[in-house]
Every structure is written in C-alpha cells, then in structure tokens.
C-alpha cells in the first residue's frame, strides 16, 4: 500500500528515497514547460506565475525547459512572468536544453532542422536562455539530442567554461543511450539523462540505459512518463490489458490509473524522476502524491506483462 498517506506535504529535503540520488536537489516530480506556451496552453503571464506557485505548494520545485519550446518563446515568457519575484529563484531549479536548431520564423537563418553541439553554440544557447529566463545561472543544462557530429571533448570544453563562470551548476544529456552517455561522462561528469520511459516505452529497462544510470550515479528523468496518454485513447490489445490492470490497481489503492503508472515508474531502483508535460497543476499534485504509492513487486511485473503481452522468461 502507501508508504506515506496520500495528500501529505512532502518535505523537500526528504523527497528522494533512493540512496543513489539522495544528495541531488531536484524535486521528485518535475514540471515540464513544453506545453505551457505556443505549443499548447498558450499561458498568459499570470497563468505562468500561478502554475509556478501551485507547483511550489506541492513541493514540485524543478522546471524543465528547452531553448526551442514554443518555437523559442517559452523561456522568455516564463522569465517575464517571474520577473520581479526574486524570492522565487532561490526556491526553484531551472533546467534547459540545447543542441536542436528548428526551422521557424523566430530563427529565419535556419534552412533545415539539424543538431549543433559545438562549443560556440552551447555557450551561446546558455547565454540566450539566461537572458530569457531572467536568471544568472541554470541548475542543469542538457544536450537535447545525440548529435552524429558531437565531439565529447568539445562539449566538455563548453561545459567547463560554463561551470567555471557559474552560469551552469550541473550538466547532463537527453535521449542518449548508455554508450553515448558513457562517452561524454568519461570526459566530463554528467548528472542526468532525460529519456522517454513509460509503460509503453520499455526499452530503457532492457537496453542498458537505466543500468548505466545506476552504475554511474546518473539521475534518469522520464519524459512522456504516461506515454502521452495514448493507451487511454487507442484501443489495441496491449492498451486494453494496461487499462484493465491499472483500473483494478487504482481501485485497490484508491487512486487514479495515471497515479498507478507513475508509481510503477518510480519504483525502479535507478530513481526515475517523471517530467510531467501537463499544463494543469492538479495533475502535478496527483503525480507528486503518486510517488508515495508502494506497488508490490508482483504488481510491478503484472504491469510489465500487460505491456509486453507475455510472461518474463
């Protein structure tokens, strides 16, 4: 059942139950901002601020950005919303990502979508993010996608410059497999690998990605941790199995099916931190509560079987 009562306020300093990640300061659930602006809810400045304040009420203190979100607009909108609230900066952690160049009217010089993990681009992207977010530092910078042309030594050089200047406190990657993350980690320590993990996206459990995180004390952050809600919309055999089982478990634990699926993720010993892409603060609250649901090992494997459609070997 629950390891703590649902609805209990979670002390920030106690929210990490996994000893591997006990010393990091990112909240157990992370608020993803991708859908807050032009790609989704189109928040007003007041709605941005309200969302941040509500997240803090639930002890969700970490906000996940990328330079490209909203076609390069969300960071600036977020920064404008919190400008003048200097006390907020000491209460929150800001993540940003760089390395993708989009074709958009906001970047007319881009002729195609491509990747750029050069030293110059990484440093310039951070300078732009700092300006847009109205902050002097990022708590975490991620390389957004593995780049076929990436040079780990050049990336490490950019990270070293940003670290020495106090502009970025921690570094990581996103969507990297174990080999790619290991290549960079060998020359510069990375703290995070943000990858897609959900009940319908299981490859990180079996391809070595989460094993590498455990071995190297790297924090796995899971984007799209509910599979984009696809299994609640698309009626194939796998989704029907997942829905039936999550509904049964949600009745047992008296929570929502979505909370069951988040509890399934955070049970993994790597200390997965879900990145919630919602623009509704009530779902952030429910996600934080889900981290207290302690599924049994048997129930965990029931969900695994529902997704794969077969018993484990």
User: Which residues are annotated as catalytic?
Assistant: 69
Cβ-based burial of 229 (10 A; exposed 0-12, middle 13-18, buried ≥19)? middle
Tally Cβ neighbours within 10 Å of residue 120: 10
Instruction: Point out which residues pair with 54 in neighbouring strands.
Output: none
Give the Cα separation of 295 and 301 in Å (integer): 10
Residue 299 near residue 249 (C-beta atoms within 8 A): yes
Separation between Cα atoms, residue 245 and residue 222, nearest integer Å: 22
Residue 247 Cα distances to 112, 255, 258, 274, 297, angstroms? 44, 9, 9, 21, 18
For the chain, how far is it from start to end, CA to CA, in angstroms?
27
Q: Please identify which residue in the block is written with the tokens 């698309």.
A: 234
* DSSP-assigned beta bridge partners for residue 62: 30, 93
């Amino acid at each position: 059942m629950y390891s703590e009562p649902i609805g209990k306020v979670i002390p920030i300093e106690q929210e990490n139950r996994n000893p591997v990640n006990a010393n990091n300061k990112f909240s157990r659930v992370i608020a993803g901002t991708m859908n807050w602006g032009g790609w989704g809810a189109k928040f007003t400045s007041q709605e941005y601020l309200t969302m941040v304040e509500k997240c803090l009420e639930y002890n969700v203190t970490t906000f996940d950005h990328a330079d490209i979100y909203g076609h390069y607009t969300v960071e600036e909108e977020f920064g404008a919303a919190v400008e003048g609230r200097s006390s907020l900066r000491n209460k929150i952690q800001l993540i940003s990502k760089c390395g993708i160049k989009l074709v958009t009217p906001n970047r007319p010089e881009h002729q195609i979508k491509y990747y750029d993990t050069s030293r110059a681009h990484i440093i310039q992207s951070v300078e732009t993010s700092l300006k847009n977010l109205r902050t002097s530092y990022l708590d975490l910078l991620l390389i957004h996608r593995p780049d076929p042309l990436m040079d780990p030594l050049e990336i490490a050089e950019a990270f070293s410059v940003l670290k020495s200047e106090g502009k970025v406190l921690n570094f990581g990657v996103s969507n990297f497999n174990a080999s790619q993350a290991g290549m960079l980690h060998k020359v510069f320590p990375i703290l995070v690998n943000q990858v897609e993990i959900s009940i319908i996206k299981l490859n990180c459990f079996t391809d070595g990605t989460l094993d590498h995180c455990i071995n190297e004390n790297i924090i796995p952050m899971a984007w799209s941790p509910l599979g984009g809600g696809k299994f609640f919309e698309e009626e194939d055999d796998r989704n029907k199995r997942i829905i039936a089982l999550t509904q049964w478990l949600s009745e047992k634990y008296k929570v929502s099916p979505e909370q069951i699926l988040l509890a399934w993720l955070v049970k993994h010993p790597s200390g997965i931190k879900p990145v919630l892409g919602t623009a509704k603060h009530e779902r952030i609250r429910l996600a934080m509560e889900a981290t207290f649901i302690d599924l049994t090992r048997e129930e965990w494997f029931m969900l695994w079987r529902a997704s794969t459609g077969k018993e484990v070997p």
